[in-house]
Amino acid sequence: MTRADHLWIGVKFLGLWVLLLAVSSLFSVLEPLGQLIFVQGFANPDSSTIDSFEEARISAHYVGFALVDA
C-alpha cells in the first residue's frame, strides 16, 4: 500500500466518524421535540396516537444512547 492509500483509508474512517457524530447530534435534537409532541398528545387525550408518540420517544431515546455509546 502506498502512502496515498493509507491516507484515503484514514479519510474514509474520519468521514464515517463525523457521519455517526452528526446522526447522534440529530437524535439529541429530535428527542426533546419528540417529548414536546408527546406532551401535546396528552393535552388531547382523545387522540389515538398517544401510544405511538410514546413508542417513538422511547425509541429515539435508546437509539440516541446507542449511537453515543458506540
In a domain, 15, yes or no: no
In a domain, 52, yes or no: yes
Count of beta carbons in the 10 Å neighbourhood of residue 41: 18
In a domain, 13, yes or no: no
In a domain, 59, yes or no: yes
- Indicate the number of domains in the chain: 1
Looking at residue 1, what is its pLDDT?
Answer: 77
7-34 burial: b if 16+ Cβ within 10 Å, else e: eeeeeeeeeeeeeeeeebeebeeebeeb
pTM assigned to the model: 0.43
**Are 41 and 50 contacting, i.e. CB atoms less than 8 angstroms apart?**
yes
In a domain, 35, yes or no: yes
Structural domain span for residue 62: 23-70
pLDDT (tens digit, 9 = 90+) per residue, 11-70? 998 989 888 888 888 777 777 776 666 655 555 555 555 556 666 666 666 655 555 555
Looking at residue 48, what is its pLDDT?
Answer: 54
Three cell numbers written together for 61: 431515546
Rounded to the nearest 10°, the torsion over CA 8, 12, 14, 18 is 150
